[in-house]
Structures are given as structure tokens and as C-alpha cells.
Amino acid sequence: MTGTATAAHRAFGRRLATALYRRPRLQLGLLLGPPLGALVIAYLGALVLLLINAFWRYDAFIGRVVTQPTLDNFVQIVTASVFRDVAVRTVLTAGAVTIADAVIAFPIAYYMARVASHRTRNILVVAVVLPLWSGYLVKVYAWRVMLLNGGFLDSVLAPIGLRGPGLSDVSAWLVFSYLWLPYMILPIYAGLERIPGSLLEASADLGARASTTFRRVILPLTLPAVIAGSIFTFSLTLGDYVTPSLVAGGTQFIGNIVFENIGVVGNTPLAAAYACVPIVVMLIYLLLARRTGAFESL
């Protein structure tokens, strides 16, 4: 009884497996359908809502959003110098953070991937990932305490006649660079580890010194990884508002303006329009990255 039932069961399973085997597309569809569906709804849905919102208008007089298509918000963020300045400051900071992280991350990742012993490597990987496990707010507050006028940094630097940056743009850059460093180290580490050692030996064998091998072989082969890391550091900086509000000493970033307009003023259409700035910047950035051929060799 049960024997024939399981047999029938199995036969059905086999038929199904065969049917799927013959229709690889169907198989792929079943595999990817649910997560893709969720992504489309959650991701693109939110994005579309945001875009639609940006074309509405906040009526300050009645204190409500009016659903009436207009370009006013965009005109405002392009013409008003405050918005321009903040956008430029944010993008420049994001660029500076990315550069700082790339410069710091590369030697660390190189050491981890190609020099350190197995044990040291594992320890370093944990050391790099560990800060990501601790609270984001806690880390930023810790930095705030260190950076405050007359705080830890100032007292450490005092004996050599220097002062810390206090709460300023520079501090924001410093803290951002610290926060996103793991996101730069990990992809570069993975990228470096993927380069077969024989390629570096071949380069030396053909007459290249270490610096030439670095420039001609290592760097081009890890460029996709650096760009992957830079997408993290760049976009995370563009979108953040907590760090600037805690350590930037009153200067504003894109995130702060978006936050204020939604949370304080209630002008969601303007916030939505302004939120398009990082999206556009990221799109341009990705297009430029693609132009370098970084995605081809991925």
C-alpha cells in the first residue's frame, strides 16, 4: 500500500525533474521568480513612488502635499545655492572618503591576501569584519567624543602643538572613512586573492620589477574589486545623515536636508526631488565605472 504510494510519488518526482531538465528556462524561472518578484515590488516600487512624489508639490500655506504634477521642486534644488552647495559638499566628501579608503584598504588587503600566513589572514578578516557587528550609532558617538573640542584627540595632539579637527567637514570625512573601510577592504581582498600567484611570477619572469607588476598586472586585475568597494563607500556616504549631524558641527549633507524636509517640515516632494541627486550621481558614477571596462573583467 504505502510501497506503491511512495513508488508513485517517486515516479512523479522523476517526471517533474525530467520536465524541468528539458525546460531549463522554466527551472530558472521557478528558481529566480520569487526573490525577483519581491525585489521588483520592494525596490522598484519604492523608487517609483519616490519619483512620483518628487513631481508633487508641498503647499506651505495649507501645510499639505498637493498631488498636482509640477517641476518646481527640481527647479528649486538646481537654482537655490544652498541645495547646490550641500550637494557639491556631499559628493566631494564621498569622493574623498572613497579615495582615502582605497588608499588605506589596498595595502591591508594585499597583506591579508598575499603575504600573511593562513592564521594571520583569518585573524585579520575577523578584525576587519568585527566593527561591522557593533552598533553604528555607538561608533559615531565614540568618534564624536574623541573629536569634541578639548576632547581626547585634542589632548593627545596638544603635546606636539596640534589640534584635532573638532566637529567639522574634515571630521565627517574622517569618520566616514573609518566607517566604510571594511566595505573597501573586503572586495579588494577577495579580488587580490583570486589572482593566481603564477601571474605575478610570470610578470617577474618576463623582467618586471615589483612596481611594474603592481601597475601592469595587480592593479588592472583588482580594478573591478576597487570599483565594487568604491560603490559601497561612495553611495553609503551619499546617503548618510547621522554621521554629519553628529560630527560635522552643523554643516549639512544631502541626507540632512532630506531628513529635515520629511521629518521637520513635512515637504516630502522636495525631499524626494533632492533624494534624486544621489541617485543621479550614482548612475553617472556607474556609467563612468563601466567605461573603464571594470565590469567586463568581472
Chain contacts with other proteins (rule: CB under 8 A): 196, 198-199, 201-209, 212, 216-217, 220-221, 297
Between 51 and 208, CB nearer to other proteins: 208
Cβ nearer to other proteins, comparing 38 with 199: 199
CB of 197 to other proteins, least distance (A): 9
Burial of residue 273 (CB within 10 Å: 0-12, 13-18, 19+) is buried
CA pair distance 34, 139, nearest whole angstrom: 36
Nearest distance from C-beta of residue 298 to other proteins, angstroms: 11
For the CB of residue 220, give the shortest distance to other proteins in the complex, in Å: 5
Shortest CB 122 distance to other proteins, Å: 19
Which grid cell is 263?
Answer: 521629518
DSSP 218-280: IHHHHHHHHHHHHHHHHHHHHH--HHHHHHSTT---HHHHHHIIIIII--HHHHHHHHHHHHH
| Number of H-type helices and E-type strands within the chain | 15, 2
Question: Which lies closer to other proteins via its Cβ, residue 187 or residue 249?
Answer: 187
Judged by CB, which is closer to other proteins: 47, or 204?
204
**Of 171 and 213, CB closest to other proteins:** 213
Least spacing, CB of residue 186 vs other proteins, in Å: 22
Helix (H, G, I), strand (E, B) or coil at 133: helix
- 172 by Cβ neighbours in 10 Å (0-12 / 13-18 / 19+) ranks as buried
CB 94 within 8 A of CB 233: yes
Residue of 107, 138, 139, 99 whose CA lies nearest to 227: 99
Nearer of residues 67 and 292 to other proteins, judged by Cβ: 292
Separation between Cα atoms, residue 177 and residue 182, nearest integer Å:
10
Cβ 222 to other proteins shortest distance, Å: 10
Nearer to other proteins, 16 or 204 (CB): 204
Q: How far is the CB of 295 from other proteins (least distance, A)?
A: 13
Our CB check for other proteins shows the closer of 4 and 198 to be 198
Residue 121 CB, nearest approach to other proteins (Å): 18
Dist. CA 172–CA 247, nearest whole Å: 6
Cell 547646490 belongs to 84
DSSP code of 57? Answer: E
